[in-house]
Structure 1
Amino acid sequence: MLDKVAPTVRPPRSGFATARAALADGADPVALALDAADRAQAAAGDGIFTALVPRAEVERKAAAAAARARAGEALPLLGLTFSVKDNLHVAGMATTLNCPVVAMAPQESALAITRLEAAGAVLIGKNTLDQFATGLNGTRSPEPLCRNALDPAFIPGGSSSGSGVAVAAGIVSFSLGSDTGGSGRVPAACNGIVGLRPSLGLVSTRGAVYNSRLLDCIPIFATHVEDASEILGLIAGHDPLDPWSRRDADAIGTAPAPAPSSRLAVPRKDQMRFFGDADAEAAFAANLDRLRGLGFTLEEIDFAPFEEAGRLVFQSALVAERLVEYEEIITTQRDAIHPAALAAIEPGRCYSAKQAFETLYRMRELQRVAEGALADFAAFVVPTVPTIYTIDEMLADPMGRNSVMGTYTYFVAPMDLCAIAAPGAPARAGLPSSLSFIGLAGQDGVVAGLAREFQRQA
C-alpha cells in the first residue's frame, strides 16, 4: 500500500495563459514544445502515456508551426501542446486501446487532431486508458498504473485516465479523451481540472475507436473552462464524412455564454447518494452555496428518470454494441485482456435483438423526459462523482466501485445532453470536489458559461 501523500497543486506550467505570456515575452514556441516533450519523457515510467512523439518530431512540428506564424498565418494555438487518448488515431503512431496485441497502424489522424495541429498545437503523446475504454477508474490497465496527479494513493479516474493526469500534472496544455458514460468528466473530477463533454455529433468522431457509436464523443481536458471551450470551438463543426456528425454543428455556440435563466435544477435531496462519503456531501452543499451566492435559484427535480437512463449504458442491451468493435478481440486474444475489461464487454453476448430495440425505444422516451424536465432551467447541476476511492479500495471491489463513479455521469449520453465538470470545494483527503453543469443538446455555450462563473469564484 502507498504511504499517505498530502495533495499538492501543480502549477499549470504548460497552461494557456502561461504559454501565451511566455510568447508575449519573446519565448520561442519550439522551446515551449520541447519543454513539454521533456516533461513527458520524465514521466514516461508513470503510466500516463502509452507512447510519446519522438523529441525530434516534436521539434520539427513546432518549428513548422512557428514558421507558418512568422509568415503571417493566424495560429490560435501556437505555443500550446496536447496529448490524446490511445483510442484516437494518430497517423504514424500505433492505436493500442491499452492492449498492445491489438495495435492498429492508422494512416490518417482523427479529424479533431488534424484541426488542432492546423491551429498550431503540437502533439506530445498518446495517453493511457482503462483498457478498451471500459471503466471509470483508471485501474483497468497494465502496470504501471496511472495515478492521481494530486495524490497518488487515489485513482486517477477513467477511462481517460492519462488524458486527465497529463493536464493536471502540467505536462501538456490540454488533452483529448473519449466519453461514453463519463470518461471525459470523471478523470477531471478526480484530478481537479475541467472536463468538457460536447453535445453528441458536435465534434466529429471520425478517427476514433468506439465503445458506442450511439453515445461516444471526444471530450476536452483543460485547467480552465474558457480554455476547454476555446478548444471545442476549434474542433467542433459538421463533418460530412462522419455519419454521426450533427448537420447543425456549425451553428451551435461553443463559447461561454450568459445563462438564459437564474434557475438551476438539482436532484431531490432524498435521492442523492454519496456512498458514505460525508466530505463529498459537505463539498456538494458548499458548491451549491457558491451558486446561490452568484444569484442562482436552485430547484429540486426528480432524479429517478436520470438514474434509469444511466443504467441503460452498462446494464442493458446497449452493452452489445461493444461487440461491434471488440468481439473478435475477446475471442482471439482473450488472455491479453484485463479481466475487468473482459467482464465489461462479454455480457453483450447475452442480449437479443428484440431487447436491443426495446432499449433504444426506452432511451428515446427518456430523452423526451429530460427535455421536459430541464426545459425551464439554465442547467442541471450534480456532483461529477459521488466520492473518490483510493487505488487499494477500487481494486478490492473493481466492478461495484467503478459503477459508483458513474452515478452522476452515466445518464448524460443516453439522454442526449452536454456537460462540463469544474473543480469545487475541498472534499475527501483535501482533494477538490467537482460540479457538473448539464444542458440539453446544443446548449454547450450555456453550460460553459455557468461553469466558468462557478470556477472563477473558487
Structure 2
Amino acid sequence: MVGERALSDYGVPANAFNPDYIPGGSSSGSAVVTAAGMVSFALGTDTAGSGRVPACFHNLYGVKPSLGLLSTRGVVPACATLDTISLFTFTADDAAKVLGITAAYDDQCAWSRKHDFAVHGKRYGKAPTAFRFGVPLESQWQTDAAYTQGMHQAIDELEALGGEKVELDCSPLLAAARLLYEGPWVAERYHVIRDLMKSHPNAVHPVTFEITQGGATPLAVDAFDARYKLAEFKRQADALISQVDVMLSPTTVTHPTKAEVAADPIGVNSRLGTWTNFMNLLDYSAWRCR
C-alpha cells in the first residue's frame, strides 16, 4: 500500500498540497487522494487534460487512453465524443495493471471499442538501444522557467538511454488544440447542461457558464467547418509523429496559484491545456511520466 511509505519516496512536489496552488482541474480530487496515499490508484475523466495536468502537479503517472478503450458508461459527460476515463497511479507497473483490467469492451457503451493488446500493444521494460523521440521546437513550448528546465532534463535522460532527439514543428497539434474551446465543440458541452443553465443558471459556476454559453450559438455548418479543419490537422499530425518512435512534450506549461486563476480563470486554464487539448480531438493516447 502506498500509504505505508513516505510521500517523499515518490517525489511528490512541494506545491502538491500547498493551499496557495491549484490541484489541477476537474479530476484533481482523484490526483489528491492518490498523492496523499489514501488510495493505491484512482480513476478520473479526461476531455481536455484533466487526467494529465493533475497528475503532473502531484508527480503521478497519468494515463489518457485513446477514445473508447475504457468504457464511459455511467460517466456524466463533458463532451461525450471526446471523453475518456483516465488513470492515476504511483508506478508504471500499477498503471499497466489497472489499464489491463479496465480496457475491456462494453457492449452497453455506445463509444466502447475492442482492442487487442497482443496485436497493437508493446510491452514496456528495458529501453531499446536506439530510438528516435520527437520534441516540439523550443519556441513552441510556452513553458515557464521551471517547466523548461524539466523538459531539458527529460530530453537529457532520453538521450542518455540512447534516444535521438528530433525537433518537430508542432503547429498542427497546437492549431487542433485551439478548436476545443474556440470551435463548435463547446456546443457539445452546452448540450450536457443547457437545461440546467436555463432553469437554474445560478447553480452553474460563473466561469463555466460563460464558457459553455458560447455553445448555444454555433450553427451546424460551423461544426462541419471545424470537423474539416480537424481532419486536415489530423493528417498533418499523423505524418509528423510518424517520423519518431515516441513524442515528448510538456504536460502543461506552469503551476499557477489560486490567485492567478481567480484573476484570469479563462486565460490561465487555456494556457494549462496548451499541450493536452489536442490529444482527445486527434484521438491520441497520452502518458504523463514521473
How well do the aligned residues superpose, as a CA RMSD in angstroms? 1.9
State the distance in 2 between where 1:253 and 1:237 align.
Answer: 14
Quote the offset at 1:416 in angstroms.
1.3
1:411-430 equivalent positions in 2, closer than 5 A: 411-423=278-290
Q: Determine helix, strand or coil for the equivalent of 2:25.
A: coil
State the distance in 1 between where 2:44 and 2:197 align.
Answer: 23
- TM-score in terms of structure 2 length: 0.90
Over alpha carbons, which structure has the higher Rg? 1
Alignment equivalent of 1:264, drawn from 133, 146, 160: 133
- TM-score in terms of structure 1 length: 0.58
Q: Determine helix, strand or coil for the equivalent of 1:177.
A: strand
State the distance in 1 between where 2:178 and 2:224 align.
Answer: 16
State the distance in 2 between where 1:284 and 1:257 align.
Answer: 22
State the distance in 2 between where 1:417 and 1:189 align.
Answer: 18
1:43-58 equivalent positions in 2, closer than 5 A: none
Q: Which runs of 5+ in 2 are unaligned?
A: 6-14
State the distance in 2 between where 1:334 and 1:222 align.
Answer: 36
1:164-183 equivalent positions in 2, closer than 5 A: 164-183=31-50
Alignment equivalent of 1:393, drawn from 239, 257, 260: 260
Superposed CA offset, 1:298-342 (max 9, x none): 101111100011011111011101122111011111111111111
Q: Determine helix, strand or coil for the equivalent of 2:193.
A: helix
Alignment equivalent of 1:325, drawn from 192, 196, 214: 192
Alignment equivalent of 2:3, drawn from 13, 19, 22: 13
State percent identity of aligned pairs.
Answer: 38
Quote the offset at 1:239 in angstroms.
1.7
- Structure 1 residue identity aligned to 2:78: N
1:237 touches 1:249 (CA, 8 Å); kept in 2? Answer: no
| Partner residue in 2 for 1:297 | 164
Alignment equivalent of 2:226, drawn from 338, 359, 367: 359
- Structure 2 residue identity aligned to 1:272: W
Q: How many residues align?
A: 279
State the distance in 2 between where 1:311 and 1:235 align.
Answer: 31
| Partner residue in 2 for 1:217 | 84
Quote the offset at 1:249 in angstroms.
5.3
Q: Which runs of 5+ in 1 are unaligned?
A: 1-10, 16-147, 424-458
State the distance in 2 between where 1:304 and 1:329 align.
Answer: 37
1:39-438 equivalent positions in 2, closer than 5 A: 149-248=16-115, 252-253=120-121, 256=124, 262-274=131-143, 277-423=144-290
State the distance in 2 between where 1:14 and 1:371 align.
Answer: 43
Structure with greater proportional helix content: 2
State the distance in 1 between where 2:127 and 2:105 align.
Answer: 25
2:166 touches 2:244 (CA, 8 Å); kept in 1? Answer: no
- Structure 1 residue identity aligned to 2:58: N
State the distance in 1 between where 2:48 and 2:177 align.
Answer: 8
State the distance in 1 between where 2:235 and 2:196 align.
Answer: 36
State the distance in 2 between where 1:372 and 1:333 align.
Answer: 46
State the distance in 1 between where 2:208 and 2:116 align.
Answer: 33
| Greater relative contact order, per chain length (Cα 8 Å cut-off, separation 6+) | 2
